[in-house]
Amino acid sequence: MRTPTAMIVGLVLCPCGLLLTLTGTLAPSWRKVSLVPNQPMDLVWEQGIWDICRERQSTHDRLCGQADELGYFEEVPVRVAQGLMPSSLVITLLGLVVAALGVRCWQEEPRHLLAGVAGLVLLLSGLMSLVPTSWYTHELWALPALPGSTLAVGYSLVLSYLGSCLEILGGLALALSFHQCCKEHRAPKLSPSPVLEPGLCSTIGAYSNPWDVLKDERDGQYWRNNPPCDSDL
């Protein structure tokens, strides 16, 4: 049996979403802070959920591990992202393992129930990564920064958004397997028709009850004494 299209879509989108979310979680570029007062014009600060880096765009000198002097990591959106993003990655890996067991591309029939459960798990992981990215974006301009600085969205936040959406779409595609599972349970199970032995049909179809035949007819005496008329033929 060919693998259903919905399962193929789910198995393609979810790993892509996992890679994007992993990159967005580890890369320190959720927010860019530029044009900082009393700082060089080409100096850019990149803030992630684990680290803060500074880079001189003219020389491309990059230095990470900067001190958090404004209490950036103590803000609630950053703390929530530090907890939910790694949890989302672990749940995504678990969902992909369950999906691989449910789809079973190397077998004749996929396990639709198991694939549907994997879709729900991947949908949950996508929502878990979408919540902190959305909250961080909403509070982007409220997080601590030096007055007069220019704030912008970093590429890590964009990748986290895209990865979350791909995981949600892939999870929904795999969750469609529940429909096929319900159809299989509702379909009536037909019992196999019995196979008759050769010659049995003629025996079953023939009427052979000797008690319904008169004694004279059984002996042939009746036809010898009373020849058949035209109406009997």
CA distance 164 to 156: 12
Give the pLDDT score at 38. 84
Asked whether residue 23 is assigned to any structural domain, the reply reads yes
What does the DSSP assignment read for 52-100? EEEEETTTTEEEE----SS-GGGSHHHHHHHHHHHHHHHHHHHHHHHHH
Give the pLDDT score at 22. 95
Structure tokens at 131: 């919540």
Asked whether residue 219 is assigned to any structural domain, the reply reads no
CB count in 10 Å sphere of residue 169: 18
Give the pLDDT score at 225. 58
Asked whether residue 233 is assigned to any structural domain, the reply reads no
Asked whether residue 120 is assigned to any structural domain, the reply reads yes
Asked whether residue 228 is assigned to any structural domain, the reply reads no
Give the pLDDT score at 201. 44
CA distance 69 to 128: 29
CB count in 10 Å sphere of residue 188: 5
Q: Which residue segment(s) compose the domain that 122 sits in? A: 10-181
Asked whether residue 81 is assigned to any structural domain, the reply reads yes
Asked whether residue 229 is assigned to any structural domain, the reply reads no
Give the pLDDT score at 106. 61
pTM, two decimals, is 0.73
Overall number of domains in the chain? 1
Asked whether residue 128 is assigned to any structural domain, the reply reads yes
Q: What is the CATH number of the domain that holds 129?
A: 1.20.140.150
| Contact between 157 and 188 (Cβ < 8 Å) | no
Give the pLDDT score at 6. 82
Give the pLDDT score at 202. 44
CA distance 17 to 86: 14
Q: What pLDDT tens digit does each residue of the chain (233 aa) get?
A: 577 788 888 889 999 999 999 999 999 999 999 988 888 888 999 999 999 999 988 888 889 988 888 899 999 999 999 999 999 999 999 999 998 888 875 666 777 788 889 999 999 999 999 999 999 999 999 999 888 899 999 999 999 999 999 999 999 999 888 766 665 556 555 445 555 455 544 444 444 555 555 455 455 555 555 555 555 54
